[in-house]
């Protein structure tokens, strides 16, 4: 009877462990979904911010170019040497703006790549954690099955021992009864 309660306790512990592991797996899935949603929202904000910055820089560049063009026209009227200087400055400014835009695009590409790699890394870690959790669940189930088999074999051995002890006791009682009969007959 106590072995049955042991087996029931072991089964109950196994079921409790399975419930805990399944609950953990469910929470992990919810966290992964929430992380993916927040990552997508952050990417959308990043893309919108980058587009707004590019538009603002383009508008500022247009204003500054218009200002420089006006200054260029005024200088053209005044003197030719001042005109060539202004043109050189405009070329320099355009080249600097182009270099600045190229650096900004490069930085934006690096940031996008970094965020994608970070997201991939987090997803890989989440998948690895899920795999480890699944392996732990399988290992726990295997240990519980092995414990149940061990308890069953011990119960079998105990029953066999009790049966043998009972047979030995019955044989001893019979031998004692026969001895008493022989003593009485002599």
pTM exceeding the 0.75 threshold for the entire prediction: no
Residue 129 has pLDDT above 70, yes or no: yes
- Mean pLDDT score, 139-162: 89
- pLDDT tens across 33-58, in order? 888 888 888 887 777 777 777 778 88
Rg (CA), the chain: 43
Q: According to the model, what pLDDT value does residue 131 have?
A: 92
112 neighbors 90 (Cβ within 8 angstroms): no
Q: What number of H helices and E strands is found in the chain?
A: 2, 0
* Residue 94 pLDDT class (50, 70, 90 cuts): very high
Token pair for residue 146?
Answer: 């092995």
The torsion angles phi and psi of 102, rounded to 5 degrees, stand at: -65, -40
- Mean pLDDT score, 72-86: 72
Residue 121 has pLDDT above 80, yes or no: yes
Residue 122 has pLDDT above 80, yes or no: yes
* Residue 185 pLDDT class (50, 70, 90 cuts): low
Residue 1 has pLDDT above 80, yes or no: no
Complete DSSP assignment for 36-80 = HHHHHHHHHHHHHHHHHHHHHHHHHHHHHHHHHHHHHHHHHHH-H
50 neighbors 108 (Cβ within 8 angstroms): yes
How far apart (Å, rounded) are the C-alpha atoms in residues 117 and 115? 5
Residue 180 has pLDDT above 60, yes or no: yes
């Amino acid at each position: 009877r106590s072995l049955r309660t042991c087996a029931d306790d072991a089964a109950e512990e196994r079921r409790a462990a399975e419930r805990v592991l399944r609950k953990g797996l469910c929470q992990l899935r919810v966290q992964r979904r929430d992380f993916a949603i927040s990552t997508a929202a952050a990417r959308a904000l990043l893309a919108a911010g980058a587009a707004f910055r590019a538009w603002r820089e383009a508008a500022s560049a247009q204003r500054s170019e218009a200002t420089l063009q006006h200054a260029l026209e005024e200088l053209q009227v005044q003197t030719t040497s001042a005109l060539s200087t202004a043109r050189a400055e405009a070329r320099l400014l355009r080249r600097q703006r182009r270099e600045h835009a190229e650096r900004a695009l490069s930085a934006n590409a690096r940031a996008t790549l970094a965020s994608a790699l970070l997201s991939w890394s987090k997803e890989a870690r989440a998948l690895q954690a899920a795999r480890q959790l699944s392996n732990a669940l399988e290992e726990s189930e295997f240990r519980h099955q092995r414990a149940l088999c061990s308890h069953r074999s011990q119960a079998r051995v105990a029953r066999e021992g009790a049966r043998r002890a009972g047979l030995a006791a019955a044989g001893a009682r019979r031998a004692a009864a026969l001895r008493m009969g022989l003593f009485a007959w002599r």
